[in-house]
Amino acid sequence: MRHVLSAVVQNVPGVLAHISGMLASRGYNIDSLAVGETEDPNLSRMTFVVVGDARVLEQVRKQLEKIVTVVKVVDVSAQDYVERDLMLLKIKAPAGTTRTEIRELVDIFRGKIVDVGAEEIVIEISGRESKIQAFIERMRPYGITELVRTGRIAMVRSGQGESESAPVEESGSINKFVNQPVK
């Protein structure tokens, strides 16, 4: 089973390497990973997708919580949540009817054409993983030149109890974590 975990971490150098190294050294594969600064510039949010049963999920959570730069870990997939992936896709599209067909598919999937060249176009699309995969399959016959995807990002829906966007305080003040070196 796929699990979406959200970890709020200190926004300091080395955190990503430390966490991904720890997971790899214990044999856990990260299926998807996205990292970005939160509403607090001292904190970043890492969203992981890991595959495994409840035991694997619990082990990953416990290992993450042991790391000093990790402030909070939440199993987002255990709650009602919204998730998105972002993809940029470069497609072969010589001028003519092919571009019209591609534009219609882009509109159906609520994507955007963000760059047009002489022989290729670049498309931006976001949504659930299944939507992204379906769009990729529709574009394959045209010739995919390049494909770039973000990792999954996810947020617990409003009114679901503990909010991912609420101020984070674990075992005292966040300030005790800020500007401490990564071990």
Condensed to tens digits (0 to 9), the pLDDT of residues 149-160 reads 998 999 999 886
Q: Residue 182: its pLDDT value, please?
A: 41
The pLDDT of residue 164 is above 50: no
Helix, strand and coil percent figures for the chain, each rounded to 5: 30, 35, 35
Bridge partner list, 89: 123, 147
CB 9 within 8 A of CB 70: yes
| pLDDT tens by residue, 26-69 | 888 888 999 999 999 999 999 989 888 888 888 888 889 889 89
Residue located via tokens 């159906």: 108
Rounded average pLDDT over 71-89: 93
Rounding to the nearest 10 degrees, give the CA dihedral for residues 101, 106, 112, 114.
Answer: -40
Which of 76-90, 136-150, 166-180 is the least confident region?
166-180
E strand or H helix at 23: helix 15-25
**Length of the chain as a residue count:** 183
Predicted TM-score (pTM) of this structure = 0.74
Distance between CA atoms of 167 and 158, rounded to whole angstroms? Answer: 14
Alpha carbon distances (Å) from 48 to 87, 106, 137: 17, 28, 25
Structural domains in the chain, sorted by start: 2-80+157-176 (3.30.70.260), 83-153 (3.30.70.1150)
What pLDDT is attached to residue 180?
42
Tokens 């005292």 appear where? 172
**How much is the mean pLDDT over the chain?**
85
Report the Cα 28 to chain-centroid distance in Å.
17
